[in-house]
Structure formats: C-alpha cells, structure tokens
Structure 1
Amino acid sequence: MLHQCLVSVKKPFIKMVPVPQPTCISGRGKVNDIAKICKQLGVSKPCIVTDHVLMKLGLLDSLLQTLDDANIGYSIFDDITPDPDYEMVRRGVEHYQNHASDSVIAFGGGSPMDCAKAMAASVKTNKDVAKLPGLLKVHRRLMPIIAIPTTAGTGSECTVAAVVSDVDARKKRSITDPFLVPKVAILDPELMLGLPAQVTAETGADALTHAIESYLSGYANTQTRQWSVSAIKRIFSELPTAYEDGNNTHAREQMALASFEAGLAFTRTYIGYVHAIAHQLGAFYHVPHGRANAIVLPLVLEGIQQRDNARLTQLAVELGYKDSVHGSASSQFTDAVNALLERIAIPKVVKELQVEDIPHIAQQAIKEAFGEYPVPEVMSRLECQQLLEKLVELGVE
C-alpha cells in the first residue's frame, strides 16, 4: 500500500514535467548530414565523445570528413570505456573546456551517450558530476547535443537520463532531467553493419526490455503504449535477421527505429525490476547492461505472468496473442520472449554472480525500485533473492 501511495504522488509530478522529443533523422548515409545539422544549430566547435574502438574501426571517418569539408572545427574525446564513471566524466569536462567547445556529438553505444550527457550537464551547471545524480538537478538548457548511436538498444539518443558509475559505492547513479534529451538523433543503419552478433543480441534485448517495462508501467499512456507495441513488433520481426545477417541494412534500420521508439516510451514511464536488478549486476560485476537485462527479463516476466497481471495480458492481446489450448495470451507472449532470446543465444546464467552477494544485490535492487518505479506487481526482497538464486541454480545444472 505504501508503494502505491508513493507512486500515486509521483505520477502527477511526472506528468507535469514535459519531456522534449529529439529531431529524428533516419536512413542510410544520414551521418553525412552532420555538417548541415551543425550549421542549423549554430554549432562551430563540437566535442565528439566516442571510444577508441570506434575510432580504430574507422566508423567516424565519414563524419569527420564531412566536418572537415565544411570547415567545422572539432575535438575528439575518445577515452570512453564501458560503464563510464565519475572520473571519466571529469576528464571529458576538462577536455571540453580546454578546447572551448560549444556543443557535443555523442557517437557510439550507451556508454559514450551517457558520458556525453553527463559532461554537458556538468559543464553547464558548473558542478562536479558527483553532485548531479537524482531528479531535476540540471535545471537549465544545455548546449546542443547531437546523438549518433552505433548500436540499437539503449535508446539514450532520446532519453532524459545519463547513467554514471560511482566506483567507490559500487553503484550506478542516474542523472535524470528533461534537459538531457539530445537535440537531434541520427539513426544511420550503415554505422551498425557488421556489428558483432553478440552485441546485436544484447543491445536488441535491451530495447525489448525497455519496451516491455514501459508498457507495463503504471505511468504508461496511450502514446507510450503505441511506441512500446511498435518497438516490440519491430524487434520480434527484425532482431533475428540482424543477429544472423549483420549486413542486412533493412533489419539494422528497423532495429534502430525500435530502439528509438522504446527510448521515447520508457523515458516517459520509467522502468521496472528487470532494470533494478540488472543495474546491480552491472555495478557489482560489470555485466554488460543489455546482457543483464536479457537474462533477468524472462524471470521477472514469469513472476508477473503467474499473478495473472492485467497489463501483461493487455500487452499480449495487442500483440495478437489469444487465450487458447496453448495457454493464456500472457503465457504465450512470455514463451515467445523466451524463444526469441534463445534464438539469439542469450545466456541463462550470470557467471559472475556470487552466492554470498545475492542478499546485498537483492536489497539494493528493491531499494532502487521501491517508490521510484511504477511496477505492475510488487516484488519483495525475498522474492528478488529467490530470482537471483535461480540464476545460480541454472549455472549449476
């Protein structure tokens, strides 16, 4: 009951805060529009935030050449590694200021996106990044942020959050503010061609988790549910193809659009227990976020389905499932999720998970979700521990 009261207090507050939507530019070769976009935004000295691997692979070559041809000066901060922490953001802020930058181009997966947005917030507020986690602590317009994802999963190109690791506390902290939403998102499937199958699978499962948890959220509305359903349909249809044929441009573009739609949805509805647990696995063991979500998702869905949850049934029906001799609509949907994850070779085990850590991980996950995430069903700490123990049991079998 207390959980419901807290959610009911926060829901109207969330509704009062408008969330902007970035301009979305989608299609093959659209990364080459970067100079035109910079000029439209009045940008002359962008700071490009990316990582060494993408630089080495040459994925930025076309973008950099386009900027060079347009005589737009830029600097490159490519020190990003998975799970950016406070210190990484601080180095990025120093780089931005030393180069007198006037904007940010976030190029890459979720880590460059998160770091870029946290850098922008720190620069504009003139506050150390460690003081920014929480709700509405940015509270001012940022410099233009142009987001160019190279994976289809995080949805960071259109969300209000930047997740940064607090190494000392072994926690992931979220800076949440509508001003963090990028001005423009460029979805270019050519940047995703040849992405490793495992990365394709894990990031795709991340987008699927966003879409499902958004639909099941107590904050969902007609628009967010439409985005969620559209994203899930695209993922069910195109993720196996993108996984099996990494050079299929159509599948890549459809997955990019699915990730964008899921991002639009969950940034307005919040998330749920899948993310709450996955965040702890990332903070404790550096398990990639998409993989952690994918492993936990079926177990959380199973718990929701067993309680005959009305929202899950509604989602299943909207996706075309019906009660039949094969089971209820919700059970058929849950089975379909499991089948998809098996097809893209998502593991059922968190190999890094240590039995002695389970009580603390469960405690932190429940603490993160309690009163914050408008979950469809309430999970106790004991239930969370039992869920995590299943992962260990699966590993032993």
Structure 2
Amino acid sequence: LTQLLESYVSLKSNAFTDALAISGLQAARDALIPLYRQEGELAQHREKMAYAALLSGITLAQVGLGSVHGLASPLGAFYPIPHGAVCGTLVASATRINIHSMLAREPDNSALTKYVQVAEILCQKNFSKSAAAFTALIDLLADWTNELALPRLAHYGLQESGFDKVIANCRGNSMKTNPIVLADGEIRQILLERL
C-alpha cells in the first residue's frame, strides 16, 4: 500500500504507472483489512494483496518512491526494524507532512490533486473540498496503522537522540522522488509522530 501510494505521487509518475497504482490501491483497499481480520474469502484477499504487491513493485521500479522509503533505508540499516513495519508505521505521518508542506510552500503541486484521488479511492467517497479529502485520507491511514497494531519506532530502539543520524542518511534515491523536498525539521516531525 505504501509503495503504491508513494509511486502514485512520485515526481516521476506517469499515465502508465498511475493506472497500475490506482488498480493496486483498489485491490489493497478491498483486501488488506479483511485479510488481517481473517474475514470473508481469504484466498481472494490474498490474491488481491499479491496483485497489489506485484503492481507496487512495477511502479516503484519505474518511478521511485518517497519520504517513507527514504527513511526506511537508514532506519533499517541502524535498527532491527523490518521494512514492512517501518513503511506501515510511517505512511500516515509522512502523508500528513507531505500534504502540509505542499499546502504551505507549493499549493499548486500536482501531487495534492493525486492525494485527493487517493482519498477518494481508499475512502470510496467523493470529496467536494480538498481539505476534507486530506483529513479523511490521513485519518484512514492512521486508523489502519492502529488496527494493524504496527509498532512505533521506539519499539525497535530508536530514540530522539538518534534522529540526526537517520535524517542525515535519508536523502537517497527514494527521497529524491518525493513530491516535495522536505526540510530536516519536517522529516524530524514524521519520526517524532511515530516514535
């Protein structure tokens, strides 16, 4: 889910990868939580999640990712945190910071429109106002993070004293395709929210 979302709003996204990302987001939306709850047709849920995972691999290879994966690299290198756990635990906070930063500094950034589209896909609702879509998307991602009981970063040994080292090493390839260049303080806020 995180890979699909990040590739959809990537600076390098295109019509081909957008179509794949949308299809994958729809599949993940329909299967992730029911599969976790062990409800319904589990084989169909697993098939949809496998399909979403495949599409996310294709899209990330073509257009890159974003701030979550920029942080996942140093967090995984310096702490015993599984890649999926860091991606899941950071996605709501990183999405919020991305949106907030674009509204403040780049209100015409096309990724804002894409975040509205993601909100409509995942929430299965049309929004007449962008602000309502942003709130709904962030709330939904936070709700899923909580329901999936994704551990906070401190669970893996990260302390606030380690933030500088993580931030200094997070500006690799993934961070370069984030829809906005985040300041160190904004990256720190992502980490702090999930510490």
What band does the TM-score fall into relative to the shorter chain?
Answer: 0.7 to 0.9
Q: Distance in 1 between matches of 2:125 and 2:113?
A: 9
Q: Highest relative contact order (Cα 8 Å, sep 6+), 1 or 2?
A: 2
> Shift of the alpha carbon at 1:327?
4.4
The answer as to 2:31 corresponding to 1:238 is yes
Candidates 140, 144, 149, aligned match of 1:336: 140
Q: Cα distance, 1:220 vs. partner? A: 0.7
Instruction: Report the structure, 1 or 2, having the larger helix content.
Output: 2
TM value normalised by structure 1: 0.43
Query: Displacement, 1:324?
Result: 4.6
TM-aligned CA deviation for residue 350 of structure 1: 3.4
Q: Which runs of 5+ in 1 are unaligned?
A: 1-207, 393-397
Instruction: Please list every run of 5 or more consecutive structure 2 residues that lacks an aligned counterpart in the other structure.
Output: 104-108
Task: Return the offset for 1:280.
Answer: 1.2
Pair 1:214-2:42 in alignment:
no
Q: 1:360 to 1:386 in 2, by over 3 A?
A: same
Q: Using the alignment, how far apart are the partners of 1:314 and 1:356 within structure 2?
A: 35
What is the deviation of 1:278? 1.3
**Does 2:111 align with 1:311?**
yes
Contact 1:235 1:258 in 2 (8 A): yes
Larger Rg: 1
Q: Verify: 1:229 aligned to 2:22, yes or no.
A: yes
With the length of structure 2 as denominator, give the TM-score of the two structures: 0.83
Structure that is richer in strand per residue: 1
- The whole-number CA distance in structure 1 between the counterparts of 2:193 and 2:146 is 17
Q: Distance in 2 between matches of 1:254 and 1:384?
A: 32
Task: Spell out, residue by residue over 1:2-38, the C-alpha distance to the aligned partner (whole angstroms, 9 max, x if none).
Answer: xxxxxxxxxxxxxxxxxxxxxxxxxxxxxxxxxxxxx
The count of corresponding residues between Structure 1 and Structure 2 is 183
CA positional deviation for 1:325: 7.7
Query: Do 2:27 and 2:52's aligned partners in 1 also have CA atoms closer than 8 Å?
Result: yes
Q: Would the aligned equivalents of 1:326 and 1:332 in 2 still touch at CA under 8 Å?
A: no
Corresponding residue number in structure 2 for 1:346 = 150
* CA-CA distance at 1:390 after TM superposition: 3.1
Contact between 1:231 and 1:261, CA under 8 Å: does it hold in 2?
A: yes
Distance 1:324 1:348, change over 3 A: farther
CA distance in 1: counterparts of 2:129 and 2:20, whole angstroms: 30
When the two chains are superposed, the root-mean-square deviation of aligned CA atoms in Å is: 2.4
Quote the Cα distance in structure 1 between the aligned partners of 2:2 and 2:115: 13
Residue by residue over 1:181-214, the C-alpha shift from the partner in whole angstroms, topping out at 9 and shown as x without a partner, is xxxxxxxxxxxxxxxxxxxxxxxxxxx1110110
Deviation at 1:356, TM superposition (A): 2.0
CA shift for structure 1 position 312: 3.6
Give the Å deviation of 1:346: 1.9
Deviation at 1:339, TM superposition (A): 2.0
